[in-house]
Structure 1
Amino acid sequence: MERYAFALDLVDDPKLIAEYEVYHQAVWSEIRASIKDAGVTDMMIYRFGNRLFMVMDVDDTFSFEKKNEMDLLNPKVQEWEALMWKYQRAIPGAKLGEKWVLMNKIFEL
């Protein structure tokens, strides 16, 4: 099992942040299914202010390439991503068009 950590910013607007959290209390079933089908076994998102931190545990079938291909072919995932972009902003240092930025692990106990 691998674990990955990602960062992303939200639009710094309390109303939009509250809406974003409501969506994440009832993530669409198709989105949950697509995440699991890609080999993700566990996923958590934490927030501080407008900064998000996501932890993703994956099994041996997971690859970023496979997940990306599956997402591009799934209209419901594309709809979700377009909707979420209303609330999200690329973190400083992200590449053009990049949302969640993979973080480097620098310590483990």
Structure 2
Amino acid sequence: METQGYEVRKFAGPTKRYCQILNLKDDQDLIEAYRRIHSQENAWPEIRAGIREVGILEMEIYISGNQLCMIVETPADFDWETAMSRLATLPRQAEWEDYVARFQQCAEHASSGEKWKMMERMFYLYE
């Protein structure tokens, strides 16, 4: 586990952040396989390209046990619903969602929006 923190990319213009959660099936072999398919070497190139194509600047997934937290950085004018609707139509996206569902605590053939639950920000260091 990283205790020194993680560097954050800087972007040319204003951005906003979305945070989502999802639980994996509580099976260590499945969790390790899920980690592998998300590695730089094994991630599907069409999925990474699609994420960028809809305007996402950065996406990170953090894990603790079987709990995941996804952080998505976008331009300030990004529209989540429009982008996710478009992403769902891009090459191999539906195939990817069906493939990763076997690792996730979700209904069969659930969309990404049905699997990943948006988190509400409840605190920040107010100015």
Same fold (TM over 0.5): yes
The whole-number CA distance in structure 1 between the counterparts of 2:84 and 2:32 is: 28
1:2 aligns with 2:16: yes
- 2:116 aligned partner: 100
Unaligned runs of 5+ in 1: 91-96
Query: Larger Cα Rg: Structure 1 or Structure 2?
Result: 2
Relative to the length of structure 1, the TM-score reads: 0.87
Unaligned runs of 5+ in 2: 1-14, 107-112
Question: How far 1:65 moved relative to its partner?
Answer: 2.0
Relative to the length of structure 2, the TM-score reads: 0.75
Question: How far 1:69 moved relative to its partner?
Answer: 2.0
The whole-number CA distance in structure 1 between the counterparts of 2:85 and 2:103 is: 24
2:93 to 77, 81, 96: 77
Question: How far 1:39 moved relative to its partner?
Answer: 1.1
- 1:21 aligned partner: 35
1:48 aligns with 2:79: no
One-letter amino acid matched to 1:9: N
- Show CA shifts across 1:45-104 (max 9, x none): 0100100001110014532222222233224011111001000114xxxxxx71010000
Q: Percent identity?
A: 37
Higher strand share: 1
- Whether the 8 Å CA contact 1:39–1:60 is kept in 2: the answer is no
- Whether the 8 Å CA contact 2:19–2:118 is kept in 1: the answer is yes
- Whether the 8 Å CA contact 1:10–1:17 is kept in 2: the answer is yes
Higher helix share: 1
Question: How far 1:27 moved relative to its partner?
Answer: 1.3
Question: How far 1:106 moved relative to its partner?
Answer: 0.9
How much is the aligned-residue C-alpha RMSD, in angstroms?
1.5
